[in-house]
Amino acid sequence: MKRVGDEANVAQPAKRAWGNKSEVIAANDRPSLNALMSMYVRDKCATDAPNATGMWSRWKKSCVAGSKVANAIGLNKFPGGDPLSLWNQICGHEEAAPMEEDQQKRVAFGIENEARARELYGRLMGPNTTLLGTHDRTISVFYPWIDYGCDGHAQGYTNPFMRAGAQRMYMLEIKCPTGKPYESVPIGYMVQIQTGMAVHGMPWCDFVMYTRRAPSGDATEVEHLKVWRVHFSPDCWARILGSLLYFVDCLETDVPPEPEFLLREATDKQYFEAPFISMSVILDQDVRPEPAPAVSTAAPQ
């Protein structure tokens, strides 16, 4: 596909079907995301509800995934994570590059160990915390152009180890890095979880890092869990939202985003870490495998 960036992309009329009716629209004349959501709800409530499935897929392809918000606003430093590349992919001007083998292994490790990390989190946090299960997708009436699914909800106290005040529901975000463990919450993930808290309406998020390592001279791997409790920051979200609204407007108008209207890590990183954001480490613990029960070798009487 032709990548859009410096030159204009001339549109040709194309026939597309939306719900129960067909319309002739320009190839880059995209319906607004709010309109897509309205069409999804309309079809979902109609007697021919199966049409909603296609509309749901269309909506998902047209919005910004929670994990890609940092890309959209200019705060992802990795190759291919720039706003223009994401804009080209969502608008259909280019396809996402296939993942390299190392990246596939990292993703597979995260998928394989997410449930284990959640299990350890529930066990180590103790009786003051109740896991409420995983959570798939949330559609916010305020931000219908964000597709966000968190790694779980839980219920507990602001101080997780003290029964003070009322319990509140909050969200979990689980990461399983295979390289160097995080020293703090990376800026891209901070953008992700602040977005998630805004969409889910949560007061805080426990950012869970699960790693495995084999100590020198020991063939047995040791699991490690570290948890940062990150509180929602209205000021941080306002910074994210300002650039994100601009990016979404670029999607709807099919105009490439300009860097000067987005954020920059060099100047804006400070606003995504302490003291601008309230967060603290509430858990940092090794989990060693339990020894196998002793087997008696005595002869039966």
Residue 296 lies in a domain: no
83 and 187 share a domain?
no
| Rounded Cα–Cα distance for residues 58 and 106 (Å) | 28
Q: How many CB atoms lie within 10 A of CB 81?
A: 16
Say what the pLDDT of residue 21 is. 32
Say what the pLDDT of residue 24 is. 33
Residue 111 lies in a domain: yes
| Rounded Cα–Cα distance for residues 254 and 26 (Å) | 11
Say what the pLDDT of residue 99 is. 80
By residue count, the chain amounts to: 301
* Residues sharing a CB contact under 8 Å with residue 164, sequence separation 6 or more, in sequence order: 157, 158
Strand partners, 170: 154
Q: Which of 56, 91, 126 is a domain's end point?
A: 91
234 and 162 share a domain?
yes
83 and 126 share a domain?
no
21 and 70 share a domain?
yes
Say what the pLDDT of residue 22 is. 34
Strand positions, DSSP E, the chain: 13-18, 21-26, 64-65, 130-131, 146-147, 153-156, 168-175, 204-213, 222-231, 279-287
pLDDT in tens, the chain (301 residues): 445 554 444 343 333 333 333 333 333 445 555 555 555 555 554 544 555 555 555 666 668 989 999 999 999 877 778 999 999 988 888 887 788 888 889 999 999 999 999 999 999 998 889 998 776 666 677 888 888 888 999 999 888 877 777 889 999 999 999 989 999 999 999 999 999 999 989 999 999 999 998 776 566 789 999 999 999 999 999 999 999 999 999 988 889 999 888 998 888 988 998 889 999 999 999 998 766 565 656 666 6
Amino acid at 41: V
Strand partners, 213: 222
pTM: 0.77
DSSP state of 270: G
Say what the pLDDT of residue 139 is. 66
Indicate the angle between helix axes 234-253 and 187-200, nearest 10 degrees: 90
Say what the pLDDT of residue 137 is. 66
| Rounded Cα–Cα distance for residues 97 and 167 (Å) | 44
Q: Tokens 């909506």 belong to which residue?
A: 59
Angle at alpha carbon of residue 124, lines to 231 and 222, rounded to 5°: 110
Q: How far apart are the first and last CA of the chain?
A: 79
Q: How many CB atoms lie within 10 A of CB 182?
A: 15
268 and 245 share a domain?
yes
Residue 300 lies in a domain: no
Say what the pLDDT of residue 175 is. 96
Residue 150 lies in a domain: yes
Say what the pLDDT of residue 37 is. 54
Residue 8 lies in a domain: no
196 and 247 share a domain?
yes
User: For the chain, give me the number of helices (H) and strands (E)?
Assistant: 8, 10
191 and 166 share a domain?
yes
Q: Which of 91, 113, 128 is a domain's end point?
A: 91
Say what the pLDDT of residue 216 is. 66
Residue 154 lies in a domain: yes
Asked whether 168 and 175 are in contact (CB, 8 A), the reply is no
Number of domains in the chain: 2
Of the candidates 208, 215, 145, which has an alpha carbon nearest to the alpha carbon of residue 173?
A: 208
80 and 111 share a domain?
no
Burial class (CB in 10 A: 0-12, 13-18, 19+), 21: exposed
Say what the pLDDT of residue 63 is. 82
Say what the pLDDT of residue 124 is. 93
Q: Which of 91, 112, 142 is a domain's end point?
A: 91
CATH number, domain with residue 190: 3.90.320.10
Residue 1 lies in a domain: no
Answer positive or negative: Cα dihedral of 269, 271, 272, 275: positive
Residue 128 lies in a domain: yes
Domain encompassing residue 277: 101-287
Asked whether 99 and 80 are in contact (CB, 8 A), the reply is no
